[in-house]
Amino acid sequence: MTAPLIDVDTLHSPARRVAILNGFGRTLGDGIIGLQALHLAMRLGIVPSRPTLFRLAGFGPMVEAVHAAADIAEIRILPPAHARPQTRFDAANEFDQVIDVREFAFAADFQRTSMIDFFLRRLGVDPQLLPSAFKRNTWLAPRVTPQPAARARGHVQGYVLVCPRASMRIRDMPDEIHDAILRQLAGRCAVVTQGHVPDGLADEVAHAPECKALAELCALVRGARWVISTDTAMVHLADAFGVPCLAFFPTHRPEWRVRDYPRCVAVPLRSALPPGLEFARGVGDLALARRAWFPNGADLDWLKRVIDRCRAWHEPRSLPSEMVT
């Protein structure tokens, strides 16, 4: 939908009424990053204070909670009938400008670019003018009430948190990879996983039950020494709370997701899938995504080397960003 023309004299007026449609997305990760873009656009005066975010409902408690934490905007529900950009937004006349990001996940410039840059451009900000540090997820932590540190096998903090599941099945970590990570770490450090604990590891690996509240999930991340995760929202939460992260990318180039995260070590997995594929088109895509985790078949020495390298960090919270290939 084309935004209405704006009088240049009112462009930076705090009284300017701005609506953002589908702000921001259907997943926790999209919400964290999109709201950081909005936070920056408001600080720069490109978007006035308290814009109205119209978002679709029904995408789970964490997505609801991250938008509820965004006190920088008024949140309203976008009617399902208005979910597609081909549909005229009936309330457009109530606003001086409508920024339409409906169905952005299907846009080619979203699938193959940095997420934060995509959202900044949609909000009218040239991302090239901003330093990388501005693009980190700084908006969230001050708005989450601190919770008691999560415990892992009696350790108040300092555990390794393993996160094998993504919002999209195509990015899930295979069970064999998850099990290999847990077995390599077990007995060497406190380990917590959001996935299933394999047989024989119940005394050495703790299972993190599903978090019921955003503050609880953030406490789980905040209490970790480092996070090992597939490409999912936990990677963005790790950045938000300054926790080092080892992240695997089966479908996207890492610079499209974690380019601005100085404490993230990114592992791109080579696959035959089209780069930036957001949704599996069928079981064949799921098979190709799975195959990317096994470049040498059942031989997982590559994974062992990556884990050993990360375990060798002496001061993991001060490592520079790097790419593991």
Task: Walk along the chain (325 residues) and give the pLDDT tens digit of each residue.
Answer: 434 433 434 445 556 899 999 878 788 999 999 999 999 999 999 999 899 999 988 888 999 999 999 999 999 998 888 888 888 888 888 999 999 998 887 787 787 889 999 999 999 999 999 999 999 999 999 999 887 765 554 555 789 999 999 988 999 999 999 999 999 999 888 999 999 999 899 999 999 999 989 999 999 999 999 999 999 999 999 999 999 999 999 998 999 999 999 999 999 999 888 887 888 888 999 999 999 999 999 999 999 999 998 877 634 443 333 433 3
Ordered by start, the domain boundaries in the chain are: 8-127+134-143, 159-323
According to CATH, the superfamily of the domain at 159-323 is Glycogen Phosphorylase B; (3.40.50.2000)
Six-digit token pair at 322? Answer: 């790097």
Which residues contact residue 44 at a Cβ distance below 8 angstroms, ignoring those fewer than 6 apart? 125
